[in-house]
Structure 1
Amino acid sequence: MLTSANDGLTGASDRNKIQRIFISCDIEGISGVVHGDHAAQGQGEDYGRARRLMTKQVNAAVAGAVQGGADMILVNDSHGTMRNIILEDLHPAAHLVTGAPKPLSMMQGVADGFDGAFLVGYHSRAGTPGVLNHTYSSRTVAELRINGTVAGETLMNAYIAGCYGVPVLLVTGDTEATNEASDALPGVKTVAVKEPVGRYAAKCLPFDEANARIREAAAEAVALIGKARPLLPPTPARFELRLMNTAMAEYVGLMPGAERVDTLTVAYSDDDYIKAFKAARVMITLAASADPY
């Protein structure tokens, strides 16, 4: 089990007071990231630079959490292969979960007893005007609904955190992502680091200013521990995926328990939100096996 740096210096009674922050960090909502070349491994200097920006921006959130009084911080790399954050450059107060696949994907580790969650570098859902907007898979998913509500990764992952009693305290990304977060999570702290000009263009804050705003908001977010409430998921949970072409829906429709709603849409329901979420991940993986032609 991972321990905080303070564990060896406190008595057993004090350990119950340790404040633990979980951070899920994506890349598309990082300041300066605007194109697929920034987000895809193998794209040379653009990707390498984006990794460094991602690491520095999550460091700002970690530094703010420490400033706010957090004792233990776990960062989960949540983009693509989930091997993006540069460990040796990560803030020394943070532990890192890296690599994939992981049972809870972008939220791996949140089930381990945290007081609050930060979603750093998040993007808006598919079909919005946000930079690099998509929902989980830009290749396969045109729209995701959870119990009839159009959802992006912010809402989907806030529900995962809610399953384990963890409130989302802070969300950073472009203005579309932060507006989406505010709509889904009343009272959440947000920091917009860029304003969309188009799907592949943005007006970005100066990088140091963006990080300063994140540090300040992260410190303030820690103060919400004990006041903010987790977002409880609907039960039963129904994930409905509208896919990019009919072949994708045909493949996904082969999965036991999947419901073919129409030519492009497939759904899965379960009394357990986490099981329904995992089924949706399998559906997206199956969809990717279809010929994109």
Structure 2
Amino acid sequence: MPSLKEAMKAFISIDMEGICGVVREIETDPIKGGEAYQQSRHLMTQEANAAIEGCVKAGATDILIADSHWNFDNLIPEELHEAATLLRGTPRGFSMVEALDASADAALFIGYHARAGTPRAILDHTYSGTIAAVRVNGTEVGETGINAYLAGHHGVPVVLVTGDRAVTVEAKAVLPNVHTVAVKDATGATSAKNLHPRKAREQIQSEATKAVRDAKTIAPLRAKTPIQMVVEFRGTYAADLAAMIPTVRRVGGLRFEIEADDYLEAFRTFYAMVTIAGGE
């Protein structure tokens, strides 16, 4: 455990689709979800607290948690663990990993979901329902990989990914040494076998402690430069909107290529495409 002179900083990005007990889109929708969404907010906040407590037990003294679902205002501030600072609201140039920089020792992705097109995965998508696939230097990635590359640009390792079983498998494919917790096993896109929420939180807290302590042994995910990112949309309307961005190259009705000198530039172009095409 680090001494007081070796203060440890942890960054947490938390989504909602991968939270234990959440299986239907309506449960994640702040506009139409009603009481179901309010219950998901509570479950999300409790999983956030489990991850925060795990970081504290590992010796982290500076913990920033980024609310990373929908308009980034889902966590219930008064219920949140007092050890963390909450990043809440929009707009954000770096979306789910806004404010992450090289000063962080470890990044944790809580409540994440699998990429678009993944079978037996709860509410699978990649940043937006308009996106069919994203590839970075030839490797298909979802939000876990996209965001892990951002962390890696700053030299920060992603040490823990939690969500359904599918996203933990996806995470291991790009982050071989990452710690994971599967809080549910999907039987379809909107059905899953869920752990009891208390058991899920116990596992998240325990694994977060181990993961943060292991941070120095886990390598950051770095994208080789120059970056080539390929983005495929589901429909031509969204693609037509994305084509308005002058720095992207349309190579088909639905496919675009982004070429950039570094990953930050590539991501910002991608995120601009998602935003203009009606994502989030």
Q: TM-score, normalised by structure 1?
A: 0.91
Other-structure match for 2:126: 135
Q: Distance in 2 between matches of 1:192 and 1:210?
A: 8
Residue of structure 2 aligned with 1:202, choices 184, 192, 205:
192
- Given the alignment, which residue of 34, 49, 52 partners 2:23? 34
The alpha-carbon deviation at position 38 of structure 1 amounts to 1.1
**SS at 1:110's partner residue?**
coil
Identity of aligned residues (%): 43
CA drift at 1:147: 1.6
1:248 Cα deviation after fit? 2.1
Rounded to whole Å, the distance in 2 between the matches of 1:251 and 1:105 is: 20
Change over 3 Å in CA distance of 1:267–1:157 after alignment to 2: same
User: Which residue of the partner structure matches residue 222 of structure 1?
Assistant: 212
Per-residue Cα deviation, 1:266-285 (whole angstroms, up to 9, x for no partner): 12111121111010111112
Aligned residue identity for 2:222: L
- Aligned partner (choices 229, 234, 242) of residue 244 of structure 1: 234
Deviation track 1:22-55 (CA, whole Å, cap 9, x = no partner) reads 0000000000111111111122001101000000
Distance 2:132 2:17 in 1: 17
For 2:244 and 2:206, the matched residues in 1 are separated by: 49
**What's the counterpart of residue 163 of structure 1?**
153
Structure 2 match to 1:122: 112
Shift of 1:250: 2.2
Number of the residue aligned with 1:212 = 202
| Offset at residue 247 of structure 1 (A) | 2.4
One-letter amino acid matched to 1:196:
A
Residue 72 of structure 2 corresponds to which residue in structure 1? 82
Q: Distance in 1 between matches of 2:240 and 2:8?
A: 47
Partner residue of 1:9? none
Could you give the per-residue CA deviations for residues 177-230 of structure 1, whole angstroms, max 9, x where no partner exists?
A: 001011110111000000001111110001111110111101101211222121
Runs of 4+ in 1 over 6 A off after TM superposition: none
Q: Which amino acid aligns with 2:27?
A: H
In structure 1, what is the Cα distance between the partners aligned to 2:245 and 2:98?
24
Residue range with higher mean Cα deviation, 107-116 or 126-135: 107-116
Aligned twin of 2:224: 234
2:250 to 252, 256, 260: 260
1:256 to 1:15, Cα distance in 2 relative to 1, 3 A? farther
- CA deviations on 1:218-268 (whole Å, 9 max, x unpaired) are 110121122212111221112211111122222222311211111111121
| C-alpha contact 2:102 2:155 (8 A) present in aligned 1 | no
- 1:183 is aligned, of 154, 161, 173, to 173
User: Any stretches of 5+ residues in structure 1 without a counterpart?
Assistant: 1-13
CA RMSD of aligned residues (A): 1.3
Partner of 2:11: 22
Are 2:144 and 1:149 equivalent residues in the alignment? no
* Equivalent residue, structure 1, for 2:95: 105
TM-score (norm 2): 0.95
Encode CA deviations 1:112-153: one digit per residue, 9 max, x unaligned.
610001000000000002100000002x10111112211100
Unpaired stretches in structure 2, ≥5 consecutive residues: none
Alpha-carbon distance, 1:286 to partner: 2.3
> Quick check: 1:269 aligned with 2:235?
no
